[in-house]
Amino acid sequence: MNLDTIKIKLYHKRVHKKGLNSNLFLHILMLITLKKYIKIKV
């Protein structure tokens, strides 16, 4: 497990406590992070 994955998981737990409003932001953030990660990997 890499550092980014851990960060995302911790962030997800925090956001989940706050509620669904912040979840939208999380999903956008995750999509951006995944796109960057895929570009770096490939």
Mean pLDDT in residue range 20-38: 78
Averaged pLDDT for residues 11-40 = 75
Token pair 């550092």 is found at: 3
Mean pLDDT for 6-30 is 73
Q: What is the mean pLDDT of the chain?
A: 75
- Domain span at residue 31? 3-41
Predicted confidence band at 13 (pLDDT cuts at 50, 70, 90)? confident
Q: pLDDT band for position 2 (50/70/90)?
A: confident
The tally of domains found in the chain comes to 1
Beta-carbon contacts of 24 under 8 Å, excluding residues fewer than 6 positions away, are none
Confidence of residue 16 (pLDDT cuts 50, 70, 90): low
Q: Rounded distance, CA 3 to CA 1, Å?
A: 7
